[in-house]
Amino acid sequence: MTIQINKIVIHCSATRNGKSLARNGLTAAQVIDSWHKQRGFKRTEANRKDFNPNLGSIGYHYVIDIDGTVETGRKIGETGAHVKGHNTNSIGICLVGGITADGKNHGEYTAQQWWALYDLLLNLEQRFPHAKIYGHRDLSPDLNGDGKITRNEWLKDCPCFDVWQWLDSGEVINVDHLFKG
Ligand SMILES: [Zn+2]
């Protein structure tokens, strides 16, 4: 069966920049799974049996923690729960972080996270050359119909950086959004 993927969507966890989500023996993906369980997200039994049976709820396909660890969530091809209206034929990737120490929605990600994201996207682009990469906010509704999704139309700021500007730059590390500690 050929897996059809049209969109790769980048998210953030909307938690403190540079702060790992791993805690109490749980990995970042397991912590997000518990959040998504509380929100009522549920993977099907068949999908759980097939892949990551211990993650019953997580809506993303990948999670990248601050040390650059890439964890899987849902299986590629499994319908996600990460972006309203675009959950089929898409892949959701969540970067841990997004919020500054003083509470601003400005994502700062570690060099390890930038490298991990870059490598993951290269790999996924090879597997799914027709997929287009988006930031979550780029999939907000185009309220005034001008064909552009502008700041006032963003449903949320996620992933708290401009994905297309970063891709256009060709750089691995986005210096305006690099967490330096
Ligand atoms: Zn998001």
Distance 60 CA to ligand 1 centre (A): 10
DSSP state of 75: P
Distance 14 CA to ligand 1 centre (A): 8
Query: CA–CA separation, 41 vs 131, rounded Å?
Result: 25
Query: CA–CA separation, 22 vs 32, rounded Å?
Result: 10
The domains of the chain are located at 7-177
Query: CA–CA separation, 83 vs 68, rounded Å?
Result: 23
Q: Among residues 94, 28, 97, which one has the least CA distance to residue 60?
A: 94
Q: What is the pLDDT of residue 147?
A: 83
Q: Among residues 114, 99, 80, 117, which one has the least CA distance to residue 6?
A: 80
pLDDT (tens digit, 0 to 9) for every residue of the chain, 181 residues total? 689 999 999 999 999 999 999 999 999 999 999 999 999 999 999 999 999 999 999 999 999 999 999 999 999 999 999 998 999 999 999 999 999 999 999 999 999 999 999 999 999 999 999 999 999 999 987 777 888 877 777 777 999 999 999 999 999 999 999 999 8
Task: List C-alpha distances in Å: 149 to 19, 71, 162.
Answer: 30, 30, 12
CB 120 within 8 A of CB 93: yes
Q: CATH homologous superfamily for 7-177?
A: Peptidoglycan recognition protein-like (3.40.80.10)
Distance 142 CA to ligand 1 centre (A): 17
Please state whether beta strands 132-135 and 7-12 pair in parallel, antiparallel, or not at all (unpaired): parallel
